[in-house]
Amino acid sequence: MVTIRLPAALFVIYLLTHSASGSYPRAQNVTWRSTNFKTILTWEPKPSADYSYTVEFSAIGRDKERNPHCIRSTATMCDLSVSLTDPNACYTADVLSTPLLGELTELTEFPNTASPRFCPSKDTEIGRPDFKLKVSEDKKNTTLYVSDPITALFKDGHQQTIRDIFSEQLQYKVTYWRNKSSGKKVLYSNSNEIEVKDLDRGESYCFNVQAYIPSRDTDKQLGEMSQTQCSKDDNESIFEVYSIGVIAAAIFLILLLIGFIIAITVVCIKRRKNALQKEKEEVPLNRV
């Protein structure tokens, strides 16, 4: 019988690495989160002090790659925005449970969990756009100037907008209604300059804008809704412009000011009368 003796230090390292590598749990709930092509892969659980995570990703049909910030990391997320360079490709990723950085192991394959397929141009959420309003001189039309949301992608040193990526596929959905009315109307436009015509002259109208990409799946066609903006109402009464509390406070201040002026006036008149009376009393009587 042949007995192989290992140096004590090597034997300890072998035991530690062998036992540790066999206990790495697999990642769970691997999920893509993406808005305006800012794409982050997340998973669970947070690793213990004994292991880390490494992310491998690839476009379908291409070789696997690694992001240098997501190799033997203790984080449970990996920002792959700059790594997914082709927005029209589809990607998958594997989250590997690996030894800590600098730790030795005999394993060549590690427990891993695959992500769902992710196609940036089809799956990323589109954030809400900003826009400005301009009412025409005749008060019958309102023009919306929409700014395309900025993405996390760059091309030739230029940060791209969703218009740069989707081109003619991108439209905007405008929802508008007369202020304080429940009836809403909708129009679609391919342009960033959208004119809403035939409005009631002088009335206030409210507007919402959403990116609309009809080529996507139904549940992904609409982006996040913008903040509501309303045009000015030329016929607004003071009670519509200001709250009751503000009006009451203004009336109180006006009455207080009037009362103060009256009080000052009364004091001045009284002092004048007293001065005149004192002058009369000090004048000597004419001799007979």
CATH number at residue 67: 2.60.40.10
**pLDDT at residue number 12:** 41
Is the residue at 268 inside a domain?
no
Q: Report the pLDDT averaged over residues 90-117.
A: 89
Domain match, 105 and 22 both:
yes
Is the residue at 256 inside a domain?
no
* End residue of a domain, out of 121, 140, 163: 121
**pLDDT at residue number 74:** 94
More confident residue, 246 or 177: 177
Cα 192 to Cα 145: distance, rounded to the nearest angstrom: 6
Is the residue at 52 inside a domain?
yes
**pLDDT at residue number 10:** 42
Domain match, 148 and 228 both:
yes
151-171 tens-digit pLDDT: 999 999 999 999 999 999 999
Domain match, 116 and 14 both:
yes
Is the residue at 254 inside a domain?
no
Return the minimum-mean-pLDDT range out of 18-27, 34-43, 177-186, 194-203: 18-27
Q: Which residues are paired to 142 by β-bridges? A: 135, 196
Q: Which residues are paired to 105 by β-bridges? A: none
Q: Report the pLDDT averaged over residues 20-34.
A: 84
Domain match, 141 and 109 both:
no
Q: Judge if pTM exceeds 0.75.
A: no
Looking at the 3D structure of the chain, how many domains does it have? 2
Is the residue at 287 inside a domain?
no
Domain match, 113 and 15 both:
yes
Domain match, 96 and 135 both:
no
Strands 65-66 and 52-59, by their bridges, are antiparallel
Is the residue at 109 inside a domain?
yes
**pLDDT at residue number 213:** 98
Domain match, 63 and 86 both:
yes
Return the minimum-mean-pLDDT range out of 47-61, 108-122, 245-259: 245-259
Domain match, 92 and 154 both:
no
**pLDDT at residue number 23:** 65
Strands (E), 220-266: 229-230
**pLDDT at residue number 234:** 63
Is the residue at 53 inside a domain?
yes
223-275 tens-digit pLDDT: 999 999 999 876 555 555 566 788 788 888 898 889 889 988 888 888 877 77
Report phi then psi at 83, rounded to 5: -85, -30
More confident residue, 65 or 271: 65
Per cent of the chain over pLDDT 70 is: 84
Question: DSSP assignment of 47-116, as one string?
Answer: --TT-EEEEEEEETTS--EE-GGGSSBS-SEEE-TTT---TTS-EEEEEEEEPPTT-----SS--EEEPP
Domain match, 136 and 236 both:
yes
Domain match, 18 and 96 both:
yes
Closest CA to 37 of 97, 120, 117: 120
* End residue of a domain, out of 241, 265, 281: 241
Domain of residue 222: give its range: 130-241
Cα 284 to Cα 282: distance, rounded to the nearest angstrom: 6
Sheet (strand 229-230) strand order: 185-189, 171-178, 205-212, 229-230
Domain match, 146 and 79 both:
no
281 has a pLDDT exceeding 80: no
Domain match, 164 and 189 both:
yes
Is the residue at 74 inside a domain?
yes
* End residue of a domain, out of 86, 121, 156: 121
